[in-house]
């Protein structure tokens, strides 16, 4: 069975703090893809990153970074020097060899000025 867990339901940080959003996944497939999406208060879903199971390199994009560790089945997302515009719900998702994408329940991040 495939499953995505985001144990942190809500996180609040003060602006400029670093914050890490956790994502743990379960799958028996050896080939799979992991995603992060952002849902700001306006409601749309914005794609942030895709990582395939063969590529464990960490990714950095500006203030965003992602740590993929197959040994712990985790794909964590860190925002450095958080800003108010980072306030959103963040979803981690898993796609295996089938056509479906499984989403985690989401983590609501509030950045307080």
Partner 1 sequence: NAGVTQTPKFRVLKTGQSMTLLCAQDMNHEYMYWYRQDPGMGLRLIHYSVGEGTTAKGEVPDGYNVSRLKKQNFLLGLESAAPSQTSVYFCASRGGQVQETQYFGPGTRLLVL
Of 74 and 105, which CB lies nearer to partner 1 in the complex structure?
A: 105
What are 72-76's contacts with CB under 8 Å, separation 24+? 72/24, 73/24, 73/25, 73/26, 74/22, 74/23, 74/24, 74/25, 75/23, 75/25, 75/34, 75/36, 75/51, 76/20, 76/21, 76/22, 76/23
Subset of residues 50 to 69 that bind partner 1, contact rule: CB under 8 A:
50, 52
9 binds partner 1, rule: CB under 8 A: yes
Subset of residues 83 to 102 that bind partner 1, contact rule: CB under 8 A:
91, 97, 99-101
For binding to partner 1 (CB under 8 A), which residues are involved?
A: 4, 9, 33, 35, 37, 43-45, 47, 50, 52, 91, 97, 99-101, 103-106
């Amino acid at each position: 069975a495939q499953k995505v867990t985001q144990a942190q339901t809500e996180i609040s940080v003060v602006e400029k703090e670093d914050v890490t959003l956790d994502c743990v996944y379960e799958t028996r497939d050896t080939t799979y893809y992991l995603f992060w999406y952002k849902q700001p208060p306006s409601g749309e879903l914005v794609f942030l990153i895709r990582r395939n199971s063969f590529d464990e390199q960490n990714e950095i994009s500006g203030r965003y970074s992602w740590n993929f560790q197959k040994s712990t089945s985790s794909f964590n997302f860190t925002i450095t020097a958080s800003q108010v515009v980072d306030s959103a719900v963040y979803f981690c998702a898993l796609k295996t060899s089938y056509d479906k994408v499984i989403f985690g329940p989401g983590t609501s991040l509030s950045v307080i000025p």
